[in-house]
Structure formats: structure tokens, C-alpha cells
Chain A
Amino acid sequence: NAGVTQTPKFQVLKTGQSMTLQCAQDMNHEYMSWYRQDPGMGLRLIHYSVGAGITDQGEVPNGYNVSRSTTEDFPLRLLSAAPSQTSVYFCASSSRQDHTEAFFGQGTRLTVV
């Protein structure tokens, strides 16, 4: 059982480049979300989805886009990378059942130069 899988694990981008962080879960969870983790600030919610075709903004959505075409996948797109987006990104999923325990991927460490 793979759980939540994120790719890539590491990425270096130049300012202005775009890229997509991939997230996939095999637990048939309805809820998926993206967080970024920065030193001294904890994890902050970027975007989330309560089901296929439904997405909403979190606390820090600017500069990021998401879509949810399937239950399994929830990609995060950086439209035009900026140094302020240097961070570690985590994808999480949870079920409407199972008391909504959240499961996290291993993270993507992104550096924008």
C-alpha cells in the first residue's frame, strides 16, 4: 500500500519557470490538500479539495493552481516560480470516514533561484 506519493522529491527552478508537483493517493480518500512548510512558520495550507472536480483556496494560495480531475490525483502547479516559493511542499489526504485522520506524502523540496 503506497499511501500518498509525491514526485519529484527535489527540484531546482529558475525564477519565472513553471512546474507541476505531483501527488497521488491509493486509499480512495475524498479529501486532499497541499501544504508548504517554512522554517519557524509551521505548515500552511495552500489549496484543498473535498472531492473530484471541487477545489478551494487555503491560507496561502497566490502563485499556485490546482485541479482535481480524479479521486487519486491532486497536482499543484506553480505558474511563474519566485524565490519566495522556495519551501518544502507536502500533500495530504484523508477520508470522510476513518475519523478524518490525515496521511502525508514524503514532501517535495523546491528551491527557486
Chain B
Amino acid sequence: KQEVTQIPAALSVPEGENLVLNCSFTDSAIYNLQWFRQDPGKGLTSLLLIQSSQREQTSGRLNASLDKSSGRSTLYIAASQPGDSATYLCAVMNTGFQKLVFGTGTRLLVSP
């Protein structure tokens, strides 16, 4: 059974710092990995999608990497801003299934 873990559970940083969020998964037979952002009381917004054949994806100040063999992904946020404050969720889709398995998220607070 696929299990997804996100570390740390919470993170508080001053504005301007570069930071890394971690995601690990137990079964390397994944189809893709997706990073989401969730604001309090809101839905999930897709940030980056990495296919199993890819090593990384970039969007603006965000960069996500994938090491399938070791079961790890990282989300790098450059020059953090207060508007980045949210919960970040990692989810994997196993091969052969159209279902996502989620981690419990990292709650990020960026202080001005």
C-alpha cells in the first residue's frame, strides 16, 4: 500500500528565505507526482505535476524535483513571500490506477 509522508508538518520562515519542502513515498511504481497548495477553507490548487519519467518541473519561483528510485520529491520555493503562506500537499498516482494518495501536508507561514 502506497504511503506518502511530508516533512516538516509545519514551517515558519521570514520573508525572503529560500525553503525546501519534502515528500517521500514508499512504492516507487508511480505514474506521476503532483504538488498542491491549499489556503485555509479553500480547495486545492495544482502547482506542479511531474511525470515519472521526469526529474523536475519549474513554475516561476517554484521548482519540484523527483527521485523515483529513492521515493522522494522536494518542492523548492525561492525568495518566499507572505502570500506563499498556505498548506502544501504532495500526492502520488500509482501506475495502473487513476487515484491519488496524499501526504498530510506542510503548513507554511512566511512572516513579513
Distance between A57 CB and nearest chain B CB, rounded to angstroms: 11
- Our pick among B4, B34, B41, B105 for the contact of A101 (Cβ within 8 Å) is B34
- A31: which B residues are within 8 A, CB to CB? 98
A12 at the interface (CB under 8 A from B): no
Asked if B104 and A40 make an inter-chain contact with CB atoms under 8 angstroms apart, the answer reads yes
Complexed CA–CA distance, A31 and B91 (Å): 16
**CB-contacts of A56-113 with B (<8 A):** 58, 90, 92, 94, 99-107, 109
Task: Tell me the minimal C-beta distance from B25 to chain A in angstroms.
Answer: 13
Question: Per-position contact with A for B39-64: 1 when CB-CB < 8 Å, else 0?
Answer: 00111111001010000000000000
Task: Report the contact-size class of chain A (Cβ under 8 Å from the partner).
Answer: 20 to 34
Is B31 an interface position by the 8 A CB rule?
Answer: yes
Taking a contact as CB atoms closer than 8 A, the residue among A42, A92, A106 that contacts B103 in the complex is A42
Which of A33, A48, A90, A109 is within 8 Å of B44, CB to CB?
A: A90
Any chain B CB within 8 A of the CB of A27? no
B residues sitting closer than 8 Å to A (CB atoms) are 4, 31-32, 34, 36, 41-46, 49, 51, 89, 91, 93, 98-105
Apart from A41-B104, A101-B46, A104-B46: 16 A-B pairs, beta carbons within 8 A: A33-B98, A33-B100, A40-B104, A42-B4, A43-B89, A43-B91, A43-B102, A45-B101, A48-B98, A90-B44, A94-B98, A99-B49, A100-B32, A100-B93, A104-B36, A104-B44
- A contact set with B: CB distance below 8 Å: 31, 33, 35, 40-45, 48, 50, 58, 90, 92, 94, 99-107, 109
